[in-house]
Amino acid sequence: MYRETDIIQSADQSPEGDMIINVGPQHPATHGVLHLVITLNGETIKKVEPHLGYIHRSIEKMCESLSYRQFIYVTSRMDYLSAHINNHACALCVEKGLQVEIPERAKVIRVLMDELTRIASHELWWGAMAMDLGAFTPFFHAFRERETINDIMEETCGARLTMNYMVPGGVMHDIHPNFQRRVKEFIQLYKSKIHEYDELVTGNIIFQNRMKGVGMLSAEDAISYGCTGPVARGSGVSSDIRKVQPYEIYDKLEFDEVLETGCDSFARYLIRIKEMNQSIRIVEQLIDNIPEGDFQAKTKAVLKLPKGEFYTRVETARGELGVYIVSEGGTTPYRIKFRSPGFSNLSVLDKIARGGKIGDLIAMMGTLDLVIPDIDR
């Protein structure tokens, strides 16, 4: 383990020596328990080495002792900002094994919840990103819209963060009678306020100078490191699972996969801003077209998957989440593996930071939108 500050002297280094500093494991800009060991030459970054394991909970092993109904909700504690979508991915994988047909009403409700979750996640990221760079006011603007979504979630699901609403076969219970009205009110609120995001942050020349040309990630490197989500799309790599391999009803909806070719921190920033607008488009198409019918397919109380291997993937707010289940025909999974987007996106931090300035590191990290419990699970 390194001391807080350490000086290295060797023949192939500058006379002043390189400095090793620690960021974290407790640091507000890491947005979780993340320890970075950074090698500097002056203010220039030579190496960034992430250290994980501080909050490891052995979630995948834990899931092996839980039933197919129970393990789904453990994933809410991974990427807690995409809790609905995590649960959705697990439910899809179980349904793939059961070969159960999901009612159309349940599919629409699931997609609505996913897109509202995506907006809420990007709202929190936008506020935290601006605050990391010294702009405190946008955080309050972001939470104005985010709290409205959380209120809607609480009314239907009974919780604001880890909702536990998805079940194998559909959703746990029907939407609240006020759901459609309140979602429409949120859409109007969002559309009336989105211009503030541009005025406060996006169009701010100081913010742009902090972001443009910083943290360059080529399309080739994004593919090589396995990056997905806004991190990959900010380098022009098409990776939106909703388009590449549509699930539920996404193939019937009109929305665009947002791509930017700037390959820098500002491009990754723009992706998320524009993705919120696309999520609003999806919600607008569905909110007045929720079909009548059942919200849950009939399934047995105790679920058993046939012997075999099953895999599904979905698009979370941070990228591709894959769920892999190995079943021996029992009531619990034999093995489970999650392919979370955060691990691959964190791996690229050293690549984009090398040669940059230590003052730009927080901006680079912010555009990766890391949720540490999703990586260190």
Backbone phi, psi, residue 94, to 5° = -65, -45
One-letter amino acid of 290: I
SS3 at position 45 = strand
The pTM score is 0.90
Average pLDDT over the chain, rounded to an integer: 88
Mean pLDDT of 94-115: 92
Residue 10 pLDDT level (bands cut at 50, 70, 90): very low
Least confident stretch, 30-44, 65-79, 179-193, 210-224: 30-44
Residue reference for tokens 């559909």: 170
Q: Are residues 47 and 100 in the same domain?
A: no
CA–CA gap between residue 159 and residue 193 (Å, rounded): 26
Cα 342–chain centre separation: 7
Q: Residue 234: its pLDDT value, please?
A: 92
Q: Residue 180: its pLDDT value, please?
A: 92
Final residue of a domain: which of 51, 73, 89? 51
Q: Are residues 33 and 177 in the same domain?
A: no
Give the 3-state secondary structure percentages of the chain, helix then strand then coil, rounded to 5: 50, 15, 35
Q: Residue 15: its pLDDT value, please?
A: 45
Q: Residue 4: its pLDDT value, please?
A: 47
Q: Are residues 276 and 314 in the same domain?
A: yes
Q: Would the pLDDT of 86 be above 90?
A: yes
- Report the number of distinct structural domains present in the chain: 2
Specify the CATH number for the domain of residue 70. Answer: 1.10.645.10
Q: Are residues 224 and 334 in the same domain?
A: yes
Q: Are residues 37 and 151 in the same domain?
A: no
Beta bridge partners of 313: 322
Q: Residue 16: its pLDDT value, please?
A: 62
Q: Write the DSSP assignment of 65-104 as a string of letters.
A: TS-TTTGGGGGGGTSGGGHHHHHHHHHHHHHHHHTPPPPH
Q: Are residues 104 and 17 in the same domain?
A: no
Report CA-CA distances (Å) from 153 to 132, 246, 327, 373: 27, 24, 33, 22
Q: Are residues 229 and 332 in the same domain?
A: yes
pLDDT by residue (tens digit) across 58-71? 899 999 999 989 99
Q: Are residues 262 and 237 in the same domain?
A: yes
Tokens of 364: 């680079």
22 close to 361: Cβ distance less than 8 angstroms:
no
Q: Are residues 76 and 157 in the same domain?
A: yes
Mean pLDDT of 294-306: 88
Q: Are residues 28 and 71 in the same domain?
A: no
Mean pLDDT of 232-261: 92
Mean pLDDT of 336-353: 91
Q: Residue 176: its pLDDT value, please?
A: 92
Tokens of 56: 């490891």
Q: Are residues 187 and 45 in the same domain?
A: no
CA–CA gap between residue 123 and residue 144 (Å, rounded): 9
Q: Domain containing 18: what range? A: 5-51
Q: Are residues 39 and 66 in the same domain?
A: no
More confident residue, 6 or 259: 259
Q: Would the pLDDT of 350 be above 80?
A: yes
